[in-house]
Amino acid sequence: MGGPPNSRSVVAAASYEARKFGIRSAMPCSKAAQLAPQAIFVSPRFEVYKEVSDRIREIFLEYTDRVEMLSLDEGYLDVTFNKRNILFAVTIAKEIRSEIFKRTELTASAGVGNSKFIAKLASEKNKPNGLTIVLPDDVIAFIDPLPVNSFHGVGKVTAQKMKELGIHIGKDLRAKNIDELVQHFGKMGIYYYKISRGEDEREVNSCRERKSLGAENTFDQDKIDREDLLQQLREVAIEVERRLKKEILPVKRSLSKLNFKISV
């Protein structure tokens, strides 16, 4: 999904079939076309995605109010005390996946675990359209063989630093003592120490606030005319204003910082 392959657009999302050719999100569409000349490019329909996302969230809310959406297509649910008094989380996961398909004709992957960290890792395990359950007694065995760059909070830079320290998988991370991890990673070392043991005290935050909002436009061709650039800036500013009015201003939040960036 993205703009025409002969434009400067980037890939917004890639199907699992496209990923087999090495196509990834944020890759220039021109490069994606080189990797897979037979690829079909479709334009994004964000309003449609938002509408479908809202419908899926409504399904979540039928089971629990403890819903924390991370994006249009991903979220955490705390079903410990659910509305239907269902005893097992796996039962709820199966029902929700079934309802999503029934109402939207979309498949969904789910991960069941005793923390956000484990549930997230589990949800990534059997994509697409998979269900992974990690029981409390199996947490360490589940974490140990996983590459550390799949852990929440471990980015490219940190993963490289861990690699230099001989930390490649969860088991390697768990072998390090907390003092050593703090020495190399500061306060995050405590977090890494805990997650390597399956410890994650973060709660599902159903009142999660959006921290930033923006808009952007990628030009098909270089623009150097001042008036043309100013007009493009006005259009982007208008779009930001529209989103502000819709998503932030209605809840009486204040604007603390405004960033403007031009990439060349």
Catalytic residue among 17, 74, 203, 241: 74
Q: How does pLDDT run across 80-126, given as a tens digit for each residue?
A: 999 999 999 999 999 999 999 999 999 999 999 999 999 999 999 98
CATH number of 140-195: 1.10.150.20
Q: How does pLDDT run across 186-212, given as a tens digit for each residue?
A: 999 999 999 999 999 999 988 766 666
Which regions of the chain carry the CATH code 3.40.1170.60?
1-44
Annotation says 247 is catalytic: no
- What contacts 81, CB < 8 A, 6 or more positions away? 64
What gap in Å lies between CA 213 and CA 153, rounded to an integer? 22
Which regions of the chain carry the CATH code 1.10.150.20?
140-195
Which regions of the chain carry the CATH code 3.30.70.270?
46-139
CATH number of 1-44: 3.40.1170.60
What gap in Å lies between CA 128 and CA 3, rounded to an integer? 24
Query: What SS3 string covers 111-178?
Result: EECCCHHHHHHHHHHCCCCCEEECCHHHHHHHHCCCEHHHCCCCCHHHHHHHHHCCCCEHHHHHCCCH
pLDDT given at position 230 = 82
CATH number of 46-139: 3.30.70.270
pTM, to two decimals:
0.77
Q: Identify the segments of the chain with pLDDT beneath 70.
A: 208-212, 217-223, 246-264
CA nearest to 8, candidates 23, 30, 24, 35: 30
Distances (CA, A) of 106 to 29, 52, 69: 25, 10, 18
Residue 132, phi then psi, degrees to nearest 5: -125, 130
pLDDT given at position 250 = 54
